A = this chain, B = another copy of it.
Amino acid sequence: MSTPSASRPLDLIIVEDQKEVREGLRYLLGLDPRVNMVRTYDRVETLLDALDTLPTPDLVLMDIGLPGMSGIEGVRAVKKRFPSVSVIILTVFEDTDRILESIRAGANGYLLKSTKPDILLEQILGAAKEGSPLSPRVAKRLLEEIQESGEQSSLSDYGLTPRERQILTDVVNGFTYREIAARYNIAASTVKKHILHIYQKLDVSSRAEFVRKAIREKLV
């Protein structure tokens, strides 16, 4: 429960190497009554120096394509020393790799420069307080990523029999022939036979390959 309408005006920082974009953003954001102060830098290194002495901002708008350190490295550096500062990426790039890397670096949002100014303003100032501003095209990439990661599970069944599946699980869990035999009250030689059959079906020839393959493609 916060008090959105009565919150303290924000101190912002913009890191952007193109002067026109930088000044345009500063002007746009500076007009809004929710903003107290806007500082700008043209590269990450300068920002990091300044953070040592000047007051800590509430929010940093970070470009990715910068001379020297990239904005993604910038996110990592800023979040490491000031975890509570919101850092929002503002860039032209919308590839999944850069989006994911930015998020893993600790970014609190990811906006595209193609966003219309009024929506951009609302996203930055409105969304940042309670959530993470994301451009819809960026969000789309994330949803696709999440959907794909959940799918790859049941791809290959191989021709394993129920008994073989049981034993496969035990092998992955580190049991030996004898131990598995004891679990099912069968002879160790039988367990061995089963495992050799599984090896043929999975096309492997050692415990290590077996465990790796079993874990990498689903079961267990």
Question: Are A206 and B127 interface neighbours, CB within 8 A?
Answer: no
How close is A73's CB to chain B, nearest CB, in angstroms?
16
Question: Are B142 and A146 interface neighbours, CB within 8 A?
Answer: yes
- Which secondary structure dominates chain A's binding surface? helix
Residue count of chain A within 8 Å CB distance of chain B: 45
Tell me which of A6-14, A27-35, A64-72, A105-113 binds B: A105-113
Within 8 A of B (CB), among A106-130: 106-109, 119, 122-123, 126-128, 130
Within 8 A of B (CB), among A124-183: 126-128, 130-140, 142-143, 146-147, 150, 171-176
- Residues from chain B with Cβ under 8 Å of A104 in the complex: 146-147, 150
- Residues from chain B with Cβ under 8 Å of A133 in the complex: 136, 139
Given contacts A143-B132, A147-B104, A204-B174, whether A212 and B209 have CB atoms under 8 Å apart is no
A77 at the interface (CB under 8 A from B): no
